[in-house]
Every structure is written in structure tokens, then in C-alpha cells.
């Protein structure tokens, strides 16, 4: 069962903030986030493990609510380079190996 992402698309001006959500119907061990530019491969941003702390990467951070099986990606003070499609991947346990992905959230940052 793949995770559900929301919203499907976001359009921002430079400097604005955005939140992308990812929810699963299954108990999760980890959630990982990737960004994909058009025509390129997805690139890893960060991973959140069950029992772990909120992660941050420059102005991009994420949280993981294990009880609700939800994760959120926070992009603050958006830059043009943040444009792309963001995917969350989920793992039900450390040994499953079957990471499943949401359908993505397309973020467009305009000048």
C-alpha cells in the first residue's frame, strides 16, 4: 500500500514556506524524502527513523509522527532551486526492503 501525499501541487513565490505531507495506512519504521528535477533521477534529501529525531537540511526539515504514520516536509524561505517533485518513501520495517513511494508533490517556486 503506497503512502498518500498532499497536496499534489504547490506554487510559491521565492521566500515563501511550504509543507508537504505523507501518510500511510501501515505502521512505519522509516520515512525518506527525495526531490526529483524534471528529466532527472530522484535525489535523497533525508530519512526519519522510528524513534528518531526531527531532521533538518539547510532550510528543509521534516518530522515523523509514528503514532499517526505521518511525515511532513517543511521548506522555509523557498528558493528557485527548490522547484521539483518531492516524493516520500516508506518502509514498514527495517528488513522489508520494499520501499514504496507516494505519487509526489510538484513544487514550483517563482521569482
Partner 1 sequence: NAGVTQTPKFQVLKTGQSMTLQCAQDMNHNSMYWYRQDPGMGLRLIYYSASEGTTDKGEVPNGYNVSRLNKREFSLRLESAAPSQTSVYFCASSNRATGANVLTFGAGSRLTVL
Give contact residues for partner 1 (rule: CB under 8 A).
2, 30, 32, 34, 40-44, 47, 49, 87, 89, 91, 94-95, 97-104
Q: Which is nearer to partner 1, 84 or 104 (by Cβ)?
A: 104
Taking the complex as a whole, the smallest distance from the CB of residue 111 to partner 1 amounts, in Å, to: 25
Nearer to partner 1 by Cβ, of 15 and 52: the residue is 52
14 vs 57 by CB, closer to partner 1: 57
Alpha helix segments (H runs only) across the chain? none
Burial class (CB in 10 A: 0-12, 13-18, 19+), 29: middle
Classify 84 as helix, strand or coil: strand
Cα 42 to chain center, whole Å?
12
Task: Say how far apart CA 7 and CA 105 lie, in whole Å.
Answer: 6
What's the min distance (Å) between Cβ of 14 and partner 1? Answer: 25
- Closer Cβ to partner 1, 84 or 102, answer by number: 102
Chain centroid to Cα 69, Å, comes to 13
Stretch (H or E) spanning 5: strand 4-6
CB of residue 2 vs partner 1: minimum separation in angstroms? 7
Q: C-beta of 105: minimal distance to partner 1 in Å?
A: 10
Amino acid at each position: 500500500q503506497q503512502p498518500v501525499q498532499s497536496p499534489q501541487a504547490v506554487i510559491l513565490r521565492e521566500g515563501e514556506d511550504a509543507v508537504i505531507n505523507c501518510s500511510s495506512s501501515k505502521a512505519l519504521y522509516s520515512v525518506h524524502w527525495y526531490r526529483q528535477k524534471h528529466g532527472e533521477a530522484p535525489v535523497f534529501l533525508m530519512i526519519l527513523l522510528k524513534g528518531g529525531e526531527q531532521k533538518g537540511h539547510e532550510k528543509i526539515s521534516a518530522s515523523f509522527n509514528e503514532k499517526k504514520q505521518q511525515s511532513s516536509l517543511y521548506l522555509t524561505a523557498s528558493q528557485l532551486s527548490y522547484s521539483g517533485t518531492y516524493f516520500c518513501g516508506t518502509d514498514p520495517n527495517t528488513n522489508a526492503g520494499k520501499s514504496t513511494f507516494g505519487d509526489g508533490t510538484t513544487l514550483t517556486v517563482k521569482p
